[in-house]
Each structure stands twice: as structure tokens, then as C-alpha cells.
Structure 1
Amino acid sequence: MIGLEDIRAAAARIEGNVRRTPMIAASNLKTPLAGGVELMLKLELLQVTGSFKARGATNKLLSLDRSMLTHGIVTASGGNHGIATARAGFMAGVPATIFLPSNASPAKIEKLKAWGATTRIIGSAWHESNEAAQAFVSETGAVYFHPFADPTVVSGQGTVGLEILDQMPDVTTVLVAMGGGGLVSGVATAIKALAPHVRVVGIEATGSPVLLRALEVGRNVALDKVTTSVATMACAKTDDRIFDIVRDRVDAIVLVDDCEMLRAAKSLWFEMGLAADLSGAAAIAAIAEGQVRFRSGERVCAIICGAGPEAIQG
């Protein structure tokens, strides 16, 4: 699907249009997270639009010929990719239409509208919204910005991996939240190409273990149902190419439930003043719940992939 050169090209293309996000130590905490290791947080919640999704959507936009945008752009999203696509529409000066499931965060819907996007709430999970978005593409000729089954989008997300290796060259484990798998695919591709010894661990919601179940049966399959309330991590079936990347380049997948992610988000807000959404707190939840084991002295990077008000309002 993608290689290191695609990610490097994406990094050059999006430079100046997205943010090189900081990395900070999770230290001096009231409740320590992982004893005997150095834990660093990659703050993608400080990315423009509030998540890593800006990287992929911006790379997609800048890869297109202007003439292709005549009928606008469209996507289906749990929220974060939709906001990134709305920003891309604003950058290009073309209409953006975002299809969302009914469990999308009201705060993210308001942010979409603030970017000037048209929002349509269809279905209870992402795959239902996606069907409606695909029909809209057929009707209007708008360009579809897929949140994970698009090599250009995944290459953009992979730039997070390049930055991690630059900022933390002796990292030993990277923790990545997963929905459809676009972020973990891009990050794992970059890291395994440049530092194959680094362990990449994906974190899925217990109510949407789409890639874990696929790996268990050895092929890309659809879940019978998706029960997580975390819209940004809800996906009934991923793309076959994403499955191949995860199978070959991701070392392990662990599960956390919605309540564990909420507790982790509250902890990030209380301990560090970081307003992460629940997917953004998934890596911290996996550590706090003991789902990932570390050797003494490891240097661990947890990607805080998205911002949100859940922990503050809760």
C-alpha cells in the first residue's frame, strides 16, 4: 500500500501546513503509569484541527489537481478525520460534506460546522455513514477522502512515525490507538523501515476489535456488531491493504474498554492538563490497565492522538 518513500514525500508535501507536534515526558505524576520505564507522550492532540488526521487529509488535498475539486470533497468519519477534511475544504475553498454516525461527539460536530462543513448524521456506526458518503460521491462527483483505505492519507499519518524517531531515536515501544487502522499502518511502516527492532503496539476498543479478530482468523473479516461508544475508534471492517500492513508490521494488539479510556482521559487532564478525547487516551489506558508489559529501562512513546472535552466535562 505504502512505503517509506511515500511517507517521506508526504512529510515534504505537508510541511508548513500542519504542525510538528511536541513530545513531553509523563513524569512527576501523582499516580505513576509505568514503573521502570521512560514514558514520553507524542502530543498529536496539539495538531491543527486537534488530531493526527490533519496530516492525512492535508496530504490528500495537496496530492490532487485543482480541477478534481470542482464538486467539493466528502468523507465519513467518527469526528476527527471529518474535521481534518473540513479544514482541507476550507484550505481549497470548496464545499466539504461530512457524514457521521449518531454517536459522534457533539463538540466535534460543532467544530465541523465552524469550519464551514455540511454535516449529515447517518447510521449508528462508521460503516453505515460510509455507505451514505459513497452514495453521495456517486450522485455529486465530489472527491472522497477515505479515513484509512487511501494510500495518500495513510502516508500522511505515517509522518507521525518519522517525527517520533527523530525526537526519540532510542525509543523501544510505540503505542498507537486504532480505529480503521490508518494511523498504526502509517506509523508502523515508517518505524519498521527505519528501526525494525522497535515494537509497535496497537490499541483497539473492546467494542470494536476489528483488526484483532481479523488477525485471529487470518483474514480481513467484518465484525457482527460494533458496541463502543467511542466513534473515532469504531469500525466494523477495515481495508484489506490495512489488514496486510497490520499483520506484517504491528507486533501486538491489546484492548481497552470505554470506561478505561475515560478514566485515562480524566487522568491526563488532572495530571498533565491535557484535554484528550477517548481515543487520544487509549494508549494511556492500555498502560494503566496493565495491557502492555515493558522491560525495565524501556523508552516508551504513547501517541495522544486526539483532543476532546470528554474528560473536562465529565
Structure 2
Amino acid sequence: MIELQDIQAAQARVANYIRHTPLVEATPIKQPLCQAQSLYLKLECLQITGSFKARGAVNKLLSLTPEQLAHGLVTASGGNHGLGVAYAGWLAKVPATIYLPRSTPLVKAHMLESWGARVIFAGAVWDEANHAALQAAEQEGLNYFHPFADPLVIAGQGTIGLEILEAAPGIDTMLVAIGGGGLISGVSTAARSLKPGIKVIGIEPVGAPTLYESLRAGKVVELPQITTTAGTLAPRRSAPINLEIIQQNVDEIVLVTDEEMREAARWLWFEMGIAAELSGAAAIAALLSGKATTEPTEKVCALVCGAGKDGIQ
């Protein structure tokens, strides 16, 4: 478990290495989305590398000793976490190795390489690539960066919650996308610590209801298959630390379809000029579809967690 002081320490630690992203008010054009009094968007799509993942990776990086750093970094990710770790390696001028599933588009590999990372393809899915990354960490003494179950990574992501409530302390409800659960674990811990009555709603794809099913079962479950095309929201299983935090801090999880996320990404692009990937549009999808309901007196914040061109295509 993590506490508010862990997130506050992370905020001080990463301040000079990440962007304090904008919190913009979208109240004048909120009508298709919600009946809330006010609507705010936290634009983590403008974060370094295009997503919130840089926060957790940098917090983990800055918690390592020089002796540990000298061994280099390793993780498995074909998406935003890999870019965050690649950025961390670039910052520290140490090698970062990213294991990718063989299905990862080459453009993602090239983006990782542009940050100086070494890319290795291993396995058909993330779980197999991650197994290879863990083996490399053990055999070569590399520092392994878990994408969602590392307390330092969770604390880094939680700095978003601090920023939101520092800028708009009156917010009543936060909507946060869920992949493995690291983002919502950190954000909900920060939010509930500062404002115990705040409502936190998680959003998962219909085709990857990992935490939704784990909450129903009361334990971490592994999905037999993934059918969503939102790859950054599609782990087959989460971890006990994330489930425990979500059980305590998250009011509900709603499920949205890929088409609802695409429609939300289009809304972000055509109404706000914001280019978001499917995961980045998930919180908006929950509002636009009516699956997350709001009251006329509420002040709502939706987290746009990742950049992409899904609303432009």
C-alpha cells in the first residue's frame, strides 16, 4: 500500500523532470457529455512521451542508488510504459532495455529507439515479453520497472491527483481509465487522502474488464482472452496491490466499448483540438455514453491520459 506522504515525496522528486500538465475547463461545451455544474480535463496527453507513464518511471528512477543505476533499466511494454522507462534511461544516461511482444508495431519500436532504448522482441503477448524482461533483470542485474504494481511507480502516477486538487479543490468526481490499475491506484489514493468524500470512477474496455472482474470475484483474476483494440488498457491480469487500493478507493468501474472510445476520441479532437488514443479517451467515453452519470451540482474531472490519433483517423 502507498500513502499520501509517498505521493508528496514523489511530487517533489519528479518536479524538475516531468511536465505539470494543464487542467482545462470544458464547461461551455459539456452538454453532450454530462449535466454536471463544471467539467475539467486533465491533459496528461501533453506529458513527456505522450502519457502519464513518465511520472512513475521517473519516480522509480530517482529512487535508485548510483550503484543500482549503473546496471541499467529493463521492462516489458509495447506502449506508454516502455516510453516512460526509455525516457528515464535517457535522463540518467543509462541503458534501458525494452522487451516487446512480436505483435508490437514497428513504429512503437522506433519511438523507443529514438529515446536511446534497446529494443528486444520476445513472445507473442505482453506476459511472455515480461517473462523475458524478468529473466534479464535476474541474470544481468538490471533494474526492473513494473508498469503498474511497483509502489514507486504508483506513487509517481498519484502526483496527477495532487495536481488536480491543487488547481481545482472543489472537484467532486474524478474519472480515470484503468489498464493494470497503477494510474487509478495512485490518483485515487491522493484524491481520497486530500478529500475523503470525493468520488472516483474507473473505466475499462468491455473487451478487457480486468479489474471489474477482479472486484466481482474479490481476488485478482486472469482473463481468458482480450478483445479490445485499446492495447494500453489490455492486461490479462492486475496485481494484489492494485486490487486492494481499488477496493478501498474506487466507487465503481464502468465498461465502455471500443467504438465508444473512438467516438470520445473524435469528440476530443473536433471539439477541443486534443489528439487522444483510445485509452486517453476512455474517461470521456464513460460520460458521452451515459455510463458514468453526474449530478447538476457536481464538479467533474476527466483524465485524458494518453496522446494518439484515434480521433483523427
Deviates more, 1:102-111 or 1:227-236: 102-111
Deviates more, 1:300-309 or 1:20-29: 20-29
Distance change >3 Å, CA 80–CA 266, structure 1 → 2 = same
Counterpart residue number, 1:222: 222
Whole-Å Cα distance in 1 between the matches of residues 125 and 101 of structure 2?
A: 5
Are the equivalent residues in 2 in contact too, given 1:79–1:105 (CA < 8 A)?
Answer: no
Are the equivalent residues in 2 in contact too, given 1:103–1:125 (CA < 8 A)?
Answer: yes
- Confirm or deny that 1:289 pairs with 2:279: no
User: How far 1:145 moved relative to its partner?
Assistant: 0.7
- Counterpart amino acid of residue 224 in structure 1: P
Number of residues of Structure 1 aligned to a counterpart in Structure 2: 313
Whole-Å Cα distance in 1 between the matches of residues 105 and 24 of structure 2?
A: 27
- The Cα offsets for residues 52-74 of structure 1, whole Å up to 9 and x where unpaired, read as 11110000000000111223111
Whole-Å Cα distance in 2 between the matches of residues 124 and 207 of structure 1?
A: 19
User: How far 1:29 moved relative to its partner?
Assistant: 3.4
Counterpart residue number, 2:92: 92
Distance change >3 Å, CA 140–CA 235, structure 1 → 2 = same
- Counterpart amino acid of residue 177 in structure 2: A
Whole-Å Cα distance in 1 between the matches of residues 103 and 166 of structure 2?
A: 37
Q: What is the correspondence of 1:13-24 to structure 2 with a 5 Å cutoff?
A: 13-24=13-24
Counterpart residue number, 1:148: 148
- Confirm or deny that 1:159 pairs with 2:132: no
User: How far 1:138 moved relative to its partner?
Assistant: 2.3
- Counterpart amino acid of residue 24 in structure 2: I
- The Cα offsets for residues 97-149 of structure 1, whole Å up to 9 and x where unpaired, read as 11233554554433212111122333443323211211221232211011111
Q: What is the correspondence of 1:195-210 to structure 2 with a 5 Å cutoff?
A: 195-210=195-210
User: How far 1:257 moved relative to its partner?
Assistant: 1.7
Whole-Å Cα distance in 2 between the matches of residues 78 and 234 of structure 1?
A: 11
- Counterpart amino acid of residue 85 in structure 2: T
Deviates more, 1:290-299 or 1:98-107: 98-107
Counterpart residue number, 2:127: 127
Distance change >3 Å, CA 53–CA 87, structure 1 → 2 = same
Counterpart residue number, 1:185: 185
- TM-score (structure 1 length as normaliser): 0.95
Structure 2 unaligned spans of 5+: none
Are the equivalent residues in 2 in contact too, given 1:104–1:231 (CA < 8 A)?
Answer: no
Are the equivalent residues in 2 in contact too, given 1:101–1:231 (CA < 8 A)?
Answer: no
Secondary structure of the 1:281 match is helix
Whole-Å Cα distance in 1 between the matches of residues 266 and 131 of structure 2?
A: 34
Counterpart residue number, 1:172: 172
Whole-Å Cα distance in 1 between the matches of residues 106 and 271 of structure 2?
A: 25
Counterpart residue number, 1:74: 74
Are the equivalent residues in 1 in contact too, given 2:35–2:295 (CA < 8 A)?
Answer: no
Whole-Å Cα distance in 2 between the matches of residues 86 and 224 of structure 1?
A: 30
- Counterpart amino acid of residue 40 in structure 1: Y
Distance change >3 Å, CA 189–CA 146, structure 1 → 2 = same
Two-structure CA RMSD over aligned residues (Å): 1.6
Secondary structure of the 1:303 match is strand
Counterpart residue number, 2:115: 115
- The Cα offsets for residues 162-192 of structure 1, whole Å up to 9 and x where unpaired, read as 0111111010100000100000000111111
**% same residue:** 52
Structure 1 unaligned spans of 5+: none
Secondary structure of the 2:20 match is coil
